[in-house]
Amino acid sequence: MIDTRHLFRPLNDKLIELMTSLHPEEWQKQTVARLWTVKDVAAHLLDGNVRLLSIQRDRYFGEAPLASPSYEALVKWLNDLNADWVKASRRISPGVLLLLHQATSEAVTVYYENIDLFEEAIFPVSWAGETQSLNWMHLAREYTEKWHHQQQMREATGREGIMTREFFFPMIDTFFRGLPHALRNAEARTGAVIMITLTSAIGGNWYVQKGASGWHLCGQPEKDDYAAVVRLSPESAWKLFSKSITPEAAGAGIGGDKELARQVLNMVSVMA
């Protein structure tokens, strides 16, 4: 279980601090989100606040989600919603955008801080292969969204601040909850273990093992006998697993079974 409730307030404080510091030209800088500028990403984060308060807190569905959609249909529906909001938000000035973030962020933070972690979540975490999720996993997913979009803005404008153990590790630890699902079709002997290492003090090691009924995350095995090893920098990992860069651009070091390693690198821990 990953408890991220205490992280939303300081992470949001960092976002407001960042937005307040931006110069007019920096709002228009391109991010790794391809079609989105810094201002577009800030608008998308505001959409997350508005949707959370409307749908999750108030249970108001202005646009009902699709009934039993395929994963691909759900992704398209979400992408269309995101694109509609970002396009309309281009009419909003940076100053008003900041004002709206300030107006909604406290209510969002209070909602996150007071949620029951073990109740069933309103939405499952589909990229982790879940058809039902508990609130702790749903909140951890929400945290990854707020972290990686803010980091897109920071990278585009040359601002540091959240590539720290405190903020980064819970985000990437949540991303790796998608590993068993990403490897669901990977063939390996029962008991085979893959080790994934993120370099530097803000990273760590993750292990996933092939069991009789599929892959599962596990602790460090007694023997260093790995079917595959993947080594990434934290800077590459967050962009790779949010589908902002390709596996080829990630500069990963791999060892052992290259096909297993490639399937790790193909993991996507966002709805894309």
Taking 90 as the threshold, does the pLDDT of residue 67 lie above it? no
pLDDT-based confidence at residue 221 (cuts at 50, 70, 90):
very high
Distance CA 252, CA 233 (A): 8
Q: What pLDDT shows up at residue 77?
A: 87
Q: What pLDDT shows up at residue 102?
A: 98
- Tell me what the pLDDT averaged over the chain comes to: 95
Q: What pLDDT shows up at residue 244?
A: 95
pLDDT-based confidence at residue 195 (cuts at 50, 70, 90):
very high
**Fold agreement between 5-159 and 177-265:** no
Determine what percent of the chain is predicted with pLDDT higher than 70.
100
Determine what percent of the chain is predicted with pLDDT higher than 90.
90
Task: Tell me what the mean pLDDT of segment 67-92 comes to.
Answer: 89
Task: Tell me what the mean pLDDT of segment 141-155 comes to.
Answer: 98
The tens digit of pLDDT for each residue in 24-43 reads: 999 999 999 989 999 999 99
CATH 3.10.129.10 fits 177-265, yes or no: no
CATH 3.40.50.300 fits 5-159, yes or no: no
Taking 90 as the threshold, does the pLDDT of residue 84 lie above it? yes
Q: What pLDDT shows up at residue 71?
A: 83
pTM: 0.95
Q: What pLDDT shows up at residue 92?
A: 97
The tens digit of pLDDT for each residue in 204-219 reads: 999 999 999 999 999 9
Taking 90 as the threshold, does the pLDDT of residue 68 lie above it? no
Q: What pLDDT shows up at residue 62?
A: 85
Distance CA 103, CA 247 (A): 39
- Kindly list the domain boundaries of the chain, sorted by start residue: 5-159, 177-265
